[in-house]
Amino acid sequence: MGFGSVDQARITTAISELARNIYLYANQGRIQIEEVRGSGKNGIRIIASDEGPGIKDIRNVMEDGFTTSGGLGAGLPGVKRLMDEFNIDSELENGTVITAIKWLR
């Protein structure tokens, strides 16, 4: 698609973190990667979805340092920083969908 090596590393890191979260919290899920075009821009959209327990408090999860797995607590806040757009939709007992977009510069 034309992403430079730095943005390729950012996208790869974001995908890895989203997949890790699916594994840790939902046991199974799906990562979709698709090209996106909008407002004269091209980019890549990552959609991480699962049917796990959902996120009880999204505000807490998005705080640096918050963790329920004993990690550093940099996961989802880090993904948000790496990507240009970021959204979480989660419902308790019904799963989570995280959508992130990186626009081509």
pLDDT in tens, 28-86: 999 999 999 988 899 999 999 999 999 888 888 888 765 655 544 358 998 999 999 99
pLDDT at 79: 93
Report yes or no: 80 and 62 within 8 Å, Cβ to Cβ. Answer: yes
CA 58, 60, 62: angle at the middle one, nearest 5? 70
Residues 6 or more apart whose Cβ sits within 8 Å of residue 80:
62, 86, 100
pLDDT at 68: 59
The answer to whether the CB of 19 falls within 8 A of the CB of 39 is no
Q: Give the pLDDT confidence score for residue 72 in this predicted structure.
A: 40
- Coil, strand or helix at 2: coil
